[in-house]
Structure 1
Amino acid sequence: MLPDYVKNCIHKIAKSEGFTDYSIQLKAGSSHGDNFLGIMIAVTLSGTRRQQNGVIRSEELHLLCKTPPTNEARQKHFHASVAFSREIYMYTKLLPAFVQFQREKGLNDIDAFVSFPKVFVCEMNEETGSFTLIMEDLRPKHFEMWPKNKTVALDHELLVMRELAKFHAVSFAMKDQCPNKFREFKQLKDTFVNVFIKDTLITLLPNLIENAIDLLEKPDHKKIMQNFRKNYLERADKLKTDPYCDEFGVITHGDCWNNNFMFQYTDETKKQLKSICLVDWQLSHYSPPVIDLLYNIFTGTDHEFRAQHYETLLKTYHTSLSDTIRKLGSDPDKLYTYDDLIMQMKKFSDYALLLAPLIISIRVAKAKDISNLDEYAEHCERNESVEMLGKFDDDTQAEFSRLMNGLLTDLVDYGYVKCE
């Protein structure tokens, strides 16, 4: 189930963590359809462990191993090496640099952005195609994903806004105070548009856009998506070359759908929300901060939610951003005002049109709707016509229709997209 090089890493972890005698249990770390770019295996180390005071206890250590697919066609088609290289860079270079900068500025764990898993092993060998990422499995500590097919609850979404703001604030402050140090991170190009949209999803995305067009109820909304369908690749390119990207650019998470947030509760009853952890950094890159907001808000919530809370979300985000920038020693009024945020939400709204047909389709899809990804990639390698997402049943199609119609309604009502 695990390659030998990963097993060796687990044994090294056991030794470094003080296990003197232990057994290893393995099980699947994710469900079908939850992870497209990697294989997740949950590992439990059970045995005796020496404490710092020399006392030996029976303990368990819960790990999550993330490796590229073993199927070569799937590795190639989904550009596993690109995705894993980026995530390993984030865990070994960028996130540690962000933590160090915040520590130097005196921020504690409550005020700082530290909401990512502890990583035990982060290794890559591009020549052999071996990538190893072993992190703490957070689920035994009452962390869970929000169900992808349900609109997120308000308290959870506000926590997402506050945490994304803290993450973005580090970029703003570091770029302001340490531009030479931050320059390396600005080289992180967008792989989602440049690699996955233009290659991996080049046949899938047009079909999803067409499905959305068919289900839109208002003629003006149909026309908006029809025009977008004609030149969506060119419009996607412009999203990341605009001069505003450099002026207000930050390191974004890049894949802000609900499955990439782990919410922690005080206990198994899930009545009280405690904290959040951001996972899956494979698409992180330098871009406008609103890329994360447009992605998250317009694929993870619905029209009814936004009608009540949209302005609250944006103000919560900007308040948290400003507070954190200020704590880091810079002036938020000079770096990113609320007017700048609203301007960018309008300017980059095409990103919501680009993502929604894909992410909302994945969000509403049932496990049976998602193809075996190994077989799908093999068909693609042979240039055979095949769908990654099967035909939705009536209930799933109706939910997709509801979410897409609500999204177009909001983009028009907010003045982000104009009816032509």
Structure 2
Amino acid sequence: MYEIENLSDLLKGQLDEELEYVDYSAKSLTGPGENFGSVMLSVEIKCKNKKTNNEETIYAVAKTPPPSEFMQKIFKTDLTFKPEIEFYRTVFPLLQEFQKKHGMKPLQYHAKFLGGRLNLKNTDTMDSNAVLLIENIAVKGFKCADRLKGFDLETIKLILQDLANLHATGIALKLQCPDEFNKKVKPYVNIMIFGDDAGSENFVEDNIKATRDILGANEEVKPFLHAVIELLRKKCDNSPKEPFATIVHQDLWVNNLMLKEENGKFIENKFVDFQMCRYVSPADDLFFLLLTSVQNDIILEKWDFLVQFYHEQFIDNLKKFDVNTEPFSREAFDQEIKDSYQRQYVHASCMLFPLLMDKSKAKPIGKDFDPKNEPPMEPSEAHKKKLCTIVKLYNKNGWL
């Protein structure tokens, strides 16, 4: 069994008053190729009800740092673990309270927070005892969709409604309560994960090599190979721009969304994994989500529809907060799209390697994992099809 030190202390203040901690059990939640930036555990917490003396079980998920020093460095876990904890402990309650003040139903698109820490010493330094504990929403019927297939039209519309709400709430809070936003949100959305160190160059070069192989073997997209490589080599501007800059998840793809199904249709969505959140353009989330996680035919046929659908939801939410929507017009958002398409092509195309990898070829990432000792990650067939689809989309929209 996996061990979580001092779990009872972690739960203090989070359990209902009538519940008393008794014991727990934990096991691995994900397999090779399903998660890279952390260890995910399924935890069953046994409690006793003080009033009835009956035993009750709390089903939770524990997130701990990856054992590999290489993966900790790649995901900058020493910097990102605390912001993710604070998203649950501080940011989401703040957003919910803000929505209540405007007569809105508080957002419910994240799992319940059960506790978090960086170590056992109550300091700001992360170590192997760091843990984030949240409700296991899988026991309530939430699940990930098929990452190799992607979302259909109705499901992505459901998700975009929640995404527009998150982005608009961040902007409204920033405009109407700037001091609170700067104090309780800004500190947890300022970590740049990729793109600001030498290690990111390796991802780009590996991506360029795969791009040559994939596009070069497809006559339909082969003519765009030179333009795509130029896009990959161009330096990205990641700086936030006003007035659109807001809370952006930055890693929205199939496995970071869990959905509840009813009668063969997804009816509710939850966002997970907030370690990479940033204060940048909402267009970044929209691009990455659509490029990586929507069925290929829908990307090509419904792109304009989905962008318009998102923007309408975004504007509707701003109006609920009494925000002047003139600076956030569709024309202004189109400029955000223009500013975002290049950096999100780099982002999405690099991340296709792990996101669409063949899990049958994946190996556990242990403590001694070193990519220099591993064979290069080969693009899967789903990866190749997705990349060609994205290139077709970019050519269609004049982005190449």
If the TM-score is normalised by the length of the shorter chain, which range does it land in? 0.7 to 0.9
* CA–CA separation in structure 1 for the residues paired with 2:38 and 2:138: 19
C-alpha offsets along residues 168-225 of structure 1, whole Å, 9 cap, x if unaligned?
A: 0112212222223323434532523345xx3555423421232023211334320122
Is it true that 1:223 corresponds to 2:250 in the alignment?
no
Which aligned pairs between 1:310-329 and structure 2 lie closer than 5 A? Answer: 310-329=303-322
* CA–CA separation in structure 2 for the residues paired with 1:72 and 1:366: 24
Write the letter of the residue equivalent to 2:239.
Answer: T
Write the letter of the residue equivalent to 2:394.
Answer: L
Which aligned pairs between 1:27-38 and structure 2 lie closer than 5 A? Answer: 27-38=27-38
Query: Is the deviation greater in 65-74 or in 86-95?
Result: 65-74
Match of 1:407 in 2: 390
Write the letter of the residue equivalent to 1:379.
Answer: D
Is it true that 1:256 corresponds to 2:256 in the alignment?
no
* CA–CA separation in structure 2 for the residues paired with 1:342 and 1:305: 20
Give, in angstroms, the shift of residue 37 of structure 1. Answer: 1.2
Structure 1 unaligned spans of 5+:
none
TM-score by length of 2: 0.88
Give, in angstroms, the shift of residue 4 of structure 1. Answer: 4.6
Residues 13 and 30 from structure 1, CA distance in 2 versus in 1: closer, same or farther, beyond 3 angstroms? Answer: farther
CA contact (8 A) 1:117 1:135 kept: yes
CA contact (8 A) 1:295 1:355 kept: yes
CA contact (8 A) 2:168 2:314 kept: yes
Write the letter of the residue equivalent to 2:334.
Answer: I
SS at match of 1:349: helix
CA contact (8 A) 1:25 1:44 kept: yes
The counterpart of 2:378, out of the listed 366, 385, 391, is 391
SS at match of 2:194: helix
Is it true that 1:306 corresponds to 2:299 in the alignment?
yes
Give, in angstroms, the shift of residue 85 of structure 1. Answer: 2.0
Is it true that 1:359 corresponds to 2:351 in the alignment?
yes
* CA–CA separation in structure 2 for the residues paired with 1:378 and 1:161: 36
Give, in angstroms, the shift of residue 312 of structure 1. Answer: 2.5
Which aligned pairs between 1:1-80 and structure 2 lie closer than 5 A? Answer: 1-9=1-9, 12=12, 16=16, 18-20=18-20, 22-46=22-46, 48-50=48-50, 54-80=51-77
Give, in angstroms, the shift of residue 280 of structure 1. Answer: 0.3
* CA–CA separation in structure 1 for the residues paired with 2:191 and 2:9: 31
CA RMSD after TM alignment = 2.6
SS at match of 1:247: coil
SS at match of 2:389: helix
* CA–CA separation in structure 1 for the residues paired with 2:285 and 2:209: 25
Number of aligned residues: 389
Residues 358 and 317 from structure 1, CA distance in 2 versus in 1: closer, same or farther, beyond 3 angstroms? Answer: same
- Could you say which structure has the higher helix fraction? 1
Write the letter of the residue equivalent to 2:24.
Answer: I
Residues 17 and 35 from structure 1, CA distance in 2 versus in 1: closer, same or farther, beyond 3 angstroms? Answer: farther
Match of 1:340 in 2: 332
Write the letter of the residue equivalent to 1:220.
Answer: P
* CA–CA separation in structure 2 for the residues paired with 1:73 and 1:354: 22
Give, in angstroms, the shift of residue 311 of structure 1. Answer: 2.4
C-alpha offsets along residues 62-112 of structure 1, whole Å, 9 cap, x if unaligned?
A: 011111123445434542212212212322232222112111212114xxx
C-alpha offsets along residues 146-177 of structure 1, whole Å, 9 cap, x if unaligned?
A: 11111212221111111100000112212222
Write the letter of the residue equivalent to 1:400.
Answer: H
Match of 1:207 in 2: 206
* CA–CA separation in structure 2 for the residues paired with 1:159 and 1:15: 31
CA contact (8 A) 1:302 1:407 kept: no
Write the letter of the residue equivalent to 2:88.
Answer: Y
Give, in angstroms, the shift of residue 343 of structure 1. Answer: 2.2
SS at match of 1:347: helix
* CA–CA separation in structure 2 for the residues paired with 1:180 and 1:7: 35
SS at match of 1:286: strand
* CA–CA separation in structure 1 for the residues paired with 2:90 and 2:112: 14
Give, in angstroms, the shift of residue 326 of structure 1. Answer: 1.1
TM-score by length of 1: 0.84
SS at match of 1:373: coil
Identity %: 19
Residues 57 and 171 from structure 1, CA distance in 2 versus in 1: closer, same or farther, beyond 3 angstroms? Answer: same
Match of 1:349 in 2: 341
C-alpha offsets along residues 355-405 of structure 1, whole Å, 9 cap, x if unaligned?
A: 222222223212233343236x6435xxx4544x5335xxx33x3222111
Residues 219 and 21 from structure 1, CA distance in 2 versus in 1: closer, same or farther, beyond 3 angstroms? Answer: closer
* CA–CA separation in structure 2 for the residues paired with 1:11 and 1:189: 28
CA contact (8 A) 1:64 1:135 kept: yes
Residues 22 and 325 from structure 1, CA distance in 2 versus in 1: closer, same or farther, beyond 3 angstroms? Answer: same
Match of 1:94 in 2: 91
Is it true that 1:293 corresponds to 2:292 in the alignment?
no
Structure 2 unaligned spans of 5+:
none
SS at match of 1:26: strand
* CA–CA separation in structure 1 for the residues paired with 2:251 and 2:126: 27
Give, in angstroms, the shift of residue 117 of structure 1. Answer: 0.8
Residues 230 and 251 from structure 1, CA distance in 2 versus in 1: closer, same or farther, beyond 3 angstroms? Answer: same
Is it true that 1:85 corresponds to 2:77 in the alignment?
no
CA contact (8 A) 2:164 2:314 kept: yes
* CA–CA separation in structure 2 for the residues paired with 1:284 and 1:161: 17
Is it true that 1:369 corresponds to 2:361 in the alignment?
yes
* CA–CA separation in structure 2 for the residues paired with 1:74 and 1:68: 9
Write the letter of the residue equivalent to 1:407.
Answer: I
